[in-house]
C-alpha cells in the first residue's frame, strides 16, 4: 500500500488516459482527473529537492512534488523564487529531470496540464 500512498497520482493518470480513450464522459471528470494529476506532480510526487547548495552542487534530499524543496527552509524559498525569475528556469527545470521519480512527476504533470487545456478547448469548440 506504500506504493499507492506515494503514487496515487499515477493511478489518476491511468484513469485520465482511460477516460480520454473511451471519451464517453463529459468534460467534468477529465478536468477533475487532470487537476488531481497536476496537483500530485507539483506537491506530492516523491522527487529530489534540486535546489543549488552553497557549494554549487545539486541538493538531492528527498522532497515532495516538483514545486517544493526539501526540509531546508532556504531551499524551499529558493525554489519558490525560481518561479519568478525566468533566468532561473533552466535551473528549476534541471531539477525536474534529476531523478526517475522527478521525471515521472514532470511527465505526469505535463500530461495533466495538456489534458486540462485540451478538454477546455474541446468544450469551447463544441
Ligand atoms: Zn534541498
Separation of 90 CA from ligand 1 center, angstroms? 17
Q: Is the pLDDT of residue 113 over 90?
A: yes
pTM as predicted: 0.82
Q: What is the pLDDT of residue 39?
A: 95
CA atoms within 13 A on the CB side of 108: 32
Separation of 78 CA from ligand 1 center, angstroms? 9
Separation of 105 CA from ligand 1 center, angstroms? 17
Helix (H, G, I), strand (E, B) or coil at 25: coil
- CA 74 – CA 52 distance, rounded (Å): 10
Separation of 113 CA from ligand 1 center, angstroms? 26
Q: What percent of the chain has pLDDT over 70?
A: 95
Residue 83 cell numbers, joined: 518561479
Separation of 66 CA from ligand 1 center, angstroms? 12
Separation of 42 CA from ligand 1 center, angstroms? 16
Is residue 15 within 8 A of residue 50, CB to CB? The reply is no
- DSSP letter at 87 equals G
Separation of 7 CA from ligand 1 center, angstroms? 21
Q: What is the pLDDT of residue 35?
A: 95
Phi/psi for 55 (5° steps) reads -80, 10
Q: Is the pLDDT of residue 125 over 80?
A: no
Looking at every residue in the chain, the average pLDDT score rounds to 86
- CA 73 – CA 22 distance, rounded (Å): 44
Separation of 31 CA from ligand 1 center, angstroms? 32
Amino acid at each position: 500500500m506504500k506504493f499507492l500512498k506515494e503514487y496515487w497520482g499515477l493511478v489518476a493518470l491511468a484513469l485520465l488516459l482511460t477516460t480520454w480513450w473511451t471519451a464517453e464522459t463529459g468534460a467534468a471528470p477529465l478536468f477533475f482527473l487532470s487537476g488531481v494529476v497536476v496537483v500530485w506532480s507539483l506537491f506530492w510526487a516523491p522527487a529530489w529537492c534540486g535546489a543549488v547548495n552553497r557549494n554549487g552542487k545539486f541538493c538531492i534530499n528527498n522532497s515532495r512534488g516538483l514545486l517544493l524543496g526539501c526540509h531546508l527552509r532556504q531551499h524551499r524559498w529558493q525554489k519558490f523564487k525560481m518561479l519568478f525569475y525566468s533566468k532561473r528556469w533552466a535551473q528549476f527545470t534541471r531539477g525536474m529531470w534529476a531523478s526517475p521519480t522527478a521525471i515521472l512527476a514532470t511527465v505526469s504533470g505535463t500530461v495533466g496540464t495538456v489534458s486540462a487545456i485540451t478538454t477546455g478547448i474541446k468544450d469551447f469548440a463544441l
